[in-house]
Amino acid sequence: MKEISLNIQVVVKQEDELTPQEVKLVDEARRATYRSYAPYSHFSVGAAVELADGTIVTGSNQENAAYPSGLCAERTAVFYAGSRYPDQPIRRLCIAARDTNGEFLQRPISPCGACRQVLLEAEQRTGGDIEVLLYGTEGIYVIRSIKDLLPLEFNKSFL
């Protein structure tokens, strides 16, 4: 038998430790939560992606009574960025969420499995890491790459 250990590094920063560009990205993700359409879960998520040229694109979760028909904030932002700016790689992503009381979460949330797969392919398509910032009021988790969120990835090499 062989054992494999998978480890990722997560840096936890406070807002005053962020760069001005990181602060701007966090602010845009937080703002995007207010554009969420979440009449069923009342859980509002916002995402902001920073492209290589500095452009920031946002997205928010969009629910539907037929639950599988909705879309997460991360995919909304990534798909819009890919459609509107196809030649600009995504370099950084921030996710923020508000609870059913409208308050920002203390602990950061991370992307669901479907979003992780979409983000991984966005990272692979452009050949560079996408840094991830997960916002929480008690701290912002900074993760080097989407690959760190999905270490045993499924990709085109299996097809």
CATH number where 138 lies: 3.40.140.10
At residue 15 the predicted structure's pLDDT band, cuts being 50, 70 and 90, is very high
Answer whether 122's CB lies under 8 Å from 153's CB: no
Residue 2 has pLDDT above 90, yes or no: yes
Residue 1 inside a domain? The answer is no
Domain limits for position 64: 10-150
Residue 155 lies in a domain: no
The residues facing 133 across adjacent strands are 94, 142
Q: Which residues are catalytic?
A: 74
Domain count along the chain:
1
Pairing relation of β-strands 10-13 and 140-143? antiparallel
pTM of the model: 0.94
| pLDDT tens digits for range 41-85 | 999 999 999 999 999 999 999 999 998 889 999 999 999 999 999
Task: Tell me if 54 is assigned to some domain.
Answer: yes
pLDDT of residue 132: 98
| 158 within domain boundaries | no
The model's confidence at residue 135, banded by pLDDT at 50, 70 and 90, is: very high
Residue 72 lies inside a defined structural domain of this protein: yes
